[in-house]
Structures are given as structure tokens and as C-alpha cells.
Amino acid sequence: MTRAATVWVYLVFGFMYLPIAMILLFSINDADVMAFPIRGLTAAWYADILSDARLGAGFLTTLFVAFPVAILSTLLGASAALALVFYPVRWKGIFAAALLLPFLVPRLILAVAQLILFKEVNIDRSLWTVIAGQSIIILPFSTLIIASVLIRLDRRLIEAAADLGASGWSSFRRVVLPLMGNGLLASWVIAFVLSSSEYVLTAFLSGREQPLSVLVASDFRFNLSPSLNALAVLIVFGNIALVVLAEAIRRRSGAKA
């Protein structure tokens, strides 16, 4: 890599991570106003966030939504990826285009369309409508992640299992499923992170119980407090911890294999 390319890479990474560094700095700034110079260091903003019962309830609501969304998106994504990669499906191109359509449609339009649909079938807004809506828009991500693993899978292993007398279900359970485990784990982690940070669709489909993303967005509109910086830092480090845990599980399962 040339020196110019190296400098460009560092600039790109700086552009991405410098705002997060600024949020981290202001989250420990002993001042109500987020501005320079820094008056001192304090952990009071973190204490305010951890003692806020409203945000704590929003966090639990986010977990209540994100866990089933991650599971449902991964299961549906695995089914769609298997259909696209392994099995002969009629109109496969149209199926793939319809599956990836949420990538191209603006999130606001999807949120309004789903809201109208639920109203037409007389389904009130609740966390269940949020789970259903988020699962649909996250499904393309899960499908692509799992399909990228299945494409690299050596099909001769499946043929060898069939030659040894294994049924279709047995070869899938003993050969395909273990080999796509990393894709399933990565899909679950990505779906969980995307669900917990989704705002537009959640704001349209949620009822009285509101996840953390909606509560934080409301606070930013009316009260720009440094405690929100502390909350953002906790969310970032929580996502990092989730990714590290997933990588540790992947390496441990690979070592056992």
C-alpha cells in the first residue's frame, strides 16, 4: 500500500470514529454545556443514566424487541438463503429482487406503508407490530450474510453424505447446518444491533411502550443533556462487547471442530 493510500485510510477511519471520540469526551465533561474548553472530568452523567428509570424501562423494551427480531430475521434469512443458493426455485431472480427491495425503498416509505397495512387489518400498534416490521426490513441483511457463507460451502460434502446413505434432512443437519453456524451467529448479531438502533420504523409502529431509540430521539429534540452522551457511549461499548462475545464463541466452536 502506498503512503497516499495509507493516509487516505487513516483519514477515513478518523472521519468515522472522531465523532464517537468527541461524544466520549463530552460524556465525562464536568459541565452542562457541550463545548470547549473542558472544565473537568466527572462520572455524574453516567450515574444519571443508570439511575433513570424511564430509560431503564426503554432499554428493557428494546431487548424485548431485539431478541425476537434477531431470531426471526435469522431463521427467515437462513430459509431464503438456502432457497437462493441450494435449491431450484422458479423465478429465482424475481424472488431475490423482492427480497432485497427494502434496500432500495426509503425507510420512511416502508414505515408509512406498514402502518397503513396494520391499520387496514385492524391491528393496533404495539411492540408486536414493531417486531414484525423490523423483521421484514432486517431480513435482507440476514439473507445476504448467510448466503455469503453458503456460496463458499463445498457441495461435494453434501454429495459424499448422500453417497454414504444420509437422507436430505440428515445431511442438512449434520453437514450444512454446522458449516453455516458462523453465518447464523453473524446474522443474529447484526440483526440485534440493527433492531436496537432502528428509529424511523419503530417510531411509526410502536404504541405506548417505546424502545430506547424513540425515547432518546425525543430527549434530543427537547433536552440536549450531556447524559445522553453517556448513554451513547454505553450503547457503543455494549455493541462492541456483543461483537467480541460473538467472535469468542465463533473461535471456540472452531477450535472444538
**What domains lie within the chain, and their CATH numbers?**
65-223 (1.10.3720.10)
- Tell me the average confidence (pLDDT) per consecutive run of 10 residues in the chain, 257 residues long: 80 84 82 73 80 83 91 92 79 80 84 89 88 90 88 75 71 77 86 87 85 79 74 82 78 61
In this prediction the pTM is 0.82
CA dihedral 213, 214, 219, 220 (to 10 degrees): 70
Q: Are 49 and 219 in contact (CB under 8 A)?
A: no
Q: How far is CA 125 from CA 6, 114, 196, in A?
A: 50, 11, 18
Residue 70's pLDDT is what? 93
Q: Are 150 and 83 in contact (CB under 8 A)?
A: no
Rounded to whole angstroms, the Cα distance separating 17 from 240 reads: 13
Residue 71's pLDDT is what? 94
Which amino acid belongs to residue 147? A
